[in-house]
Amino acid sequence: MRVSSLVLCALCAVDASRQRPFSGSRLAKPAQPLTPARTSRPEGPAPTSAGVQAVDAPLLARLVGTQMLVGYTIFTGGIGAQVLHAHAHLDSASVWLIGGLGALPLLALGRVIETSPSSALVEINASTNRLALRMFGPRAQPILALSLSAALGALVGVVEETLFRGQLLPSLSAYATTHGLEHDEAKLAAVAASALVFALAHINVLGGLKQIASKETGVTVALQLATGAWFGALSIATGQLGTAIVAHGVYDACTLYGTHLRVTRQVSRATARGLAALRLPALAGWLAARGASWTENASRLFFLLDGDGDGEVSAAEARSGGITFGLCDETIAALEARAANGGLQLGAFFDAVADLSNAGAKARAHACGGE
């Protein structure tokens, strides 16, 4: 599953309502080239003078702060710390081995979801892409990204597993037992109930009722329900809270780090191929009619959205890439509609972008004329 607890917590921390500033009409402005750095969210990290990409410190601070707040009894020596000390057994090699292996099915399923063309999963994948781009920026920085991904994964794994599998699950199991269920039935019921609470706790309420009632939220709840049940089953089957902690942490860390590497490769490829495409005879007319800056912008955008590198932008890629790299809803919808009947190759994509640019120019002219 591409959507992890770390991703959801981060999106909630920054409000997952999209603030995508780029519309197709922006391509009509040669003075504002659509470089990869500008396609990330505007509040993302900026390059330093040495060319090293900084981390989005406010996002990182909010994410860590949220986890510290949720797990405050762990860090203040309260009930969370007692549960962690008594049941995690993180000093055991078998806990790390089983927990690491326990993350593999989720990572494998995540890979399937990542490559799925299903419209129900497109925005889930894009949310993960957007977080990685927001957190680490568009340039690859593998050592720093790996270190922070591991640290964040560990933090989320400890906090959420201690809360949901270390505290809530045993309490629910004890409640079920006192109300007539057999021991094993009570454990199964507790795994299911704690997974449901876990899933519902990951709903982003900051997006408002529209976001809560969206298809994306429904898919997210379903995936988190499965993930929570898996972590609960690991904990119950091994009798060790630590296996769920390790599995959760490894899954979240690998998801964030792997997405960072993939998205930055996509940005790098789009930059190189976008510049190289300017030499294509097919773009000579666009260079003459629109100028080098507009043509370069449109070319880079094409390769940013062409996620699988097959030379064609599908409707799913238009939506996923549009969300990831900051296109506005209207532009995404227009590109999706144009790509619905078989995808957009480079020439057809340029036609679509030109139409969007012309429509944007007319809208601006109309607005100016009405003032």
Mean pLDDT of 147-160: 97
Write the Ramachandran bin of 334: left for phi over 0, alpha for psi from -120 to 50, otherwise beta. alpha
pLDDT over 70 percentage in the chain: 82
Mean pLDDT of 9-35: 39
Q: Are 23 and 326 in contact (CB under 8 A)?
A: no
For residue 269, what pLDDT is reported? 93
Mean pLDDT of 214-224: 89
Rg (CA), the chain: 23
DSSP-based three-state secondary structure for 309:
coil
Q: How confident is the model at residue 362 (pLDDT cuts 50, 70, 90)?
A: low
* Long-range contacts of residues 71-75, Cβ cutoff 8 Å, at least 24 apart: 71/158, 71/159, 71/160, 71/162, 71/163, 74/158, 74/159, 74/162
Tell me which of 279 and 28 has the higher pLDDT. 279
φ, ψ (nearest 5 deg) of residue 181: -80, 145
Dist CA 188 CA 37 (whole Å): 48
Q: Which residues, other chains included, contact 114 with Cβ-Cβ below 8 Å and sequence gap of 6+?
A: 2, 125
Angle at 65 between CA 105 and CA 45, to 5 degrees: 80
How is domain 266-370 classified at the architecture level of CATH? Orthogonal Bundle (1.10)
Q: How confident is the model at residue 138 (pLDDT cuts 50, 70, 90)?
A: very high
Dist CA 177 CA 200 (whole Å): 24
The predicted-structure confidence for 65-115, as pLDDT tens digits, reads as follows: 999 999 999 999 999 999 999 999 999 999 999 999 999 999 999 998 888
Domain layout of the chain by residue ranges: 5-13+30-264, 266-370
pTM of the entire predicted model: 0.83
Residue of 116, 138, 120 whose CA lies nearest to 129? 138
pLDDT of 303 strictly over 50: yes
Q: Is the CA virtual torsion 145, 71, 3, 186 positive or negative?
A: positive
DSSP-based three-state secondary structure for 327:
strand
Six-digit token string for 32: 């504002």
Dist CA 278 CA 275 (whole Å): 6
pLDDT of 367 strictly over 80: no
Question: What residue type is assigned to position 216 of the chain?
Answer: E
Query: Measuring CA to CA, how many Å separate 61 from each of 13, 55, 65, 187, 295?
Result: 10, 11, 6, 36, 39
10 Å Cβ neighbour count for 17?
A: 12
Question: What residue type is assigned to position 303 of the chain?
Answer: F
